[in-house]
Chains A and B, each alone.
Chain A
Amino acid sequence: MMTAVAGRGHELVPATCSVHIKQLSVQFGTFLALDGVSLSLAPGAVHAVVGQNGAGKTTLARCLMGLQQPSSGSIEFDDEPLALGSVKASKTAGVEMVHQAFSLPPSASVAEAIEFFHPSRTSLRPFRKRDLVSHVKKQLADLGVNIDPAAKISSLPVETLQSLEIGRALISRPRVLLLDEPTAVLAPQDVSALFDRVRAIAASGVTIIIVLHKVQEVFAIADTVTVLRGGVCVAAAQLTASFDERSLSEAIIGSAVPAPSTRSRSRGAPSELLSLQEITTLPKPGDSPLRNVTLTIFDSEILGIAGVEGNGQRSLVESIVGIQSIDSGSMRFLGHDVSGATVTLRRRLGLRVVPFDRLTEGVSTSRTLWENVAVGDLATHRSLFGLVSPRQLRNNARMLLDTWQVRYRDVNQSTGSLSGGNVQRLILARELAAGAKFLVAAHPTRGLDLGATAFVHNTISTLSETASVLLVSADLDELFALSDRIAVLSAGCVSGIFERPFDVQAIGAAMVGQAQISDLAAEIRSFS
């Protein structure tokens, strides 16, 4: 593993390089994205980094690339300390990174983009388009990448973009190659091609650090695996062989044993609250569109939505809320057809939302607390010019915030000055103030500390006595503890609906899209 064959003439560069990360911490405000991570990675191998969303995987990769200045700690390549927070230093040390969202300027041509990253001339020496194209063509051909260098970046399909992004990173013959969730944007059949390529690159002696999301992928590609959980390193570069799928899932999630059921209610004849019929949405960046999703949510029920990030959770939530219009299918809410209804209309009927990103979608951070609380009621009115009394709105807000135990100084303070947990409390206070019949909660506890998480959990479970909840979460423990049923989204489809008691294996299989429908059916039958 250590001695690699320097394939295409990188004799000048020592082809192998070990990476030592020591006590690396990154802090954003009060949020600790990485907490004293220490790792030693052997040269010329494939090292996977896994963890849930927000566990700090991308942050770790960005630190290595110099895109993120760590708050403390150090990084060494082959015992050479790296100057932190400088892309140039990292590049000089032989690090390259393949970004999940790509780093290629959309309106440039392929040739220009490659020239931008790997200048072949001084900055003011003019090039001829033809020369540049043939130069880049040769560079890409050397790497086995076959893309027309004259094509515009924005016109390329996503697999080609990724292949180009990898080619872009390999041109400078890096010693360490970082890949940030490269599989997230690919269709399953393209993943194996990617892995073949990654293996070939590793075989040429490059140390590979690959951020992954799926447990199966780790076993398919990685020599060692590092697990991050909430910024803490829970497994540091351990041999992949020392895990099996279950133990690795445990390490990622925290515990694979479902928490004892905190909910057991016998429902009478359930009546439908919201029903989605064959909902299909148009594609949008960053998430799978919904494909023929049929779902029903009953009265006083918590329906959990599980799934790997980007499998249609956002499309589902946004089409239920009314932000995204549906392409086909129909939606009924409390007996009304709401397929084409505005957000306001749905809210008037009793829909409430805790959005994905509380700081951009949930509140306006630069406005005051009372405004952010008042908007919930004000926005549902038809007339814009109705008079309001700010004093009353402030008093209302004060009352609500006190009831919901939001820790604040003054209702006139800006919302950005609250901590994450308190912002979430504010959102819940606003959304559940009056008339809530159905709450859509998207990752309601993401990034919150334990206390705030418990508060949100209590709120949701109390709410379910009077209203229904659609709970989208990446945290299986949370889903298991709270949900009456769990629906799994995979590639925009409902790949399974599970009832209590939940089977983590079956749900995990449905999440990664491996389960056969017949198996699922059998499993579901066995539960009922």
Chain B
Amino acid sequence: MTPIGVRGRVGPRLSAALPRATAVVVGLGLLAAILGLSGYPLGTILDGTIKGSLTAPGAWQSTLRWMIAYVIIGAGVLVTVRAGFLNLGAQGQFYSGAIASVWVALRWKSGPAPLVIAAGLIGGAAAGALWSLIPGILKVVWGTDEVITTLMANFLGILWLRWVTNGPLKNPIGSGESTSTESIAKQFRISSGAGVSVWTICAAAGVLAATWLLISRTRFGVLSALTGRNQLMASWQGIDAKRSGLVSFLVSGGAAGLAGAIEVFGPNGRVSSGFAPDIGFTAILVAIIGGLSIIGLVIAAFVFALLQAALLYLPIVTDLPPSALNLLRGTVALFITVGTVGGAVRLRRARTIASQEGGERVSK
């Protein structure tokens, strides 16, 4: 490629990423200011962050462990948002994947490990995809608002998980308070409790590669991006928006479900009620902060994984509460989409007269 081409490609991308990076930096700065003003030793915290996420024993594994999860779920979110759907259902899809895979592993305790693992991972992805398909069908067939349906699906997922860990798959040995399943057999685990192994890394890399292939090397990738931004233009071009919409919902659910299955077969070995409660939202943020590109996704996932890992370590050096990360997540989410809406607040009702607002613009 010519140097001009390179400059042409990188330049706009960098400048487009700037506002999003700014939101993250401002969030971090604000967090530091709040911590400083509250009397926390910033130096110690910075030191602890680096130790906890990179240099302390097991720290980088911890970072990588979260990064794997964010990258996999975020890749799915990226595909749907790119196709024009604000899919908030990652958490529920993640849970349904985890439940399906733990069910496979607990029902088929004596099976050969490779088969059980494969069945568990595939089952998890399928369960996540199905969980996501329902809002997807409602959206493309009837136009039912996906924001509401995926949000509801999350709450249903949370309740389902609570029920599963409380009833059918409840660990009988646990105390009355414990709400988790039994652990799956040792030979089924694809990583230790740290969550990092060749297999989990390969899974994340595989999902990234597949997503990259899908969005930048297939017709679906080009067409769904156009449809996502302008459905009217897509219909004049004859693009089948229903089909590409369903595909994107399936992909997103499948990825989140797979991440759930990996949690079960990898670091967790079981599911417990309400585990990893922020993972879905973080993955959505990571996808958006990354500007819906693969490289951006990886970078954003790394930043948030680093903070997550550090947060588990920080209490050792200071009494910083884990909620500090929510402070950051919240600030970033508040500001990350600034300027993206062309003026109108999301409309309550769809209207026949919607076009009239744009009448002047269209007629000129």
Contact = CB atoms under 8 A, between A and B. Distances in A.
Question: Do A and B assemble together?
Answer: yes
Interface residues of B, number: 42
A375 B363 contact: no
A343 B361 CA distance: 26
B232 A360 contact: yes
A365 B236 contact: no
Contacts of A62: 360
A266 interface: no
Given A106-B353, A343-B235, A353-B236, A387 B226 contact: no
Given A106-B351, A106-B352, A376-B237, A59 B230 contact: no
A38 B280 CA distance: 60
A50 B208 CA distance: 59
B8 A378 contact: no
Contact of A387 (B218, B229, B232): B218
Interface in A328-356: 342-344, 346-347, 353, 355
A366 B237 CA distance: 16
Contacts of B232: 360-361
Interface string B230-264: 10111111111001100100000000000000000
Interface string A372-415: 10111011110111111110010000000000000001101100
A58 B236 contact: no
B341 interface: no
B216 interface: yes
B173 interface: no
A384 B360 contact: no
* Dominant secondary structure at the B interface: helix
A53 B226 CA distance: 29
A371 B352 CA distance: 30
- Size category of the A interface is 35 or more
B223 interface: yes
A101 B356 contact: yes
A51 to B, nearest CB: 12
Nearest to B16: A414
A360 B219 contact: no
A393 B360 contact: no
21 contacts: A285-B352, A322-B238, A343-B236, A343-B238, A344-B240, A347-B237, A347-B238, A353-B236, A360-B230, A362-B233, A363-B233, A367-B226, A375-B226, A379-B223, A384-B223, A386-B218, A388-B217, A389-B217, A410-B12, A413-B12, A447-B364
> Closest 8 CB pairs between A and B?
A343-B238, A101-B356, A344-B238, A364-B230, A410-B8, A384-B220, A379-B237, A364-B229
Interface of B: 8-9, 12, 213-214, 216-223, 225-226, 229-230, 232-240, 243-244, 247, 349, 351-353, 355-356, 358-364
Given A323-B236, A375-B237, 10 more contacts: A58-B363, A68-B360, A101-B353, A343-B236, A346-B238, A361-B233, A371-B226, A375-B222, A385-B219, A387-B217
Interface of A: 28, 31, 33, 53-54, 58-59, 62, 68, 100-101, 106-107, 285-286, 321-323, 342-344, 346-347, 353, 355, 357, 360-367, 371-372, 374-376, 378-381, 383-390, 393, 409-410, 412-413, 447
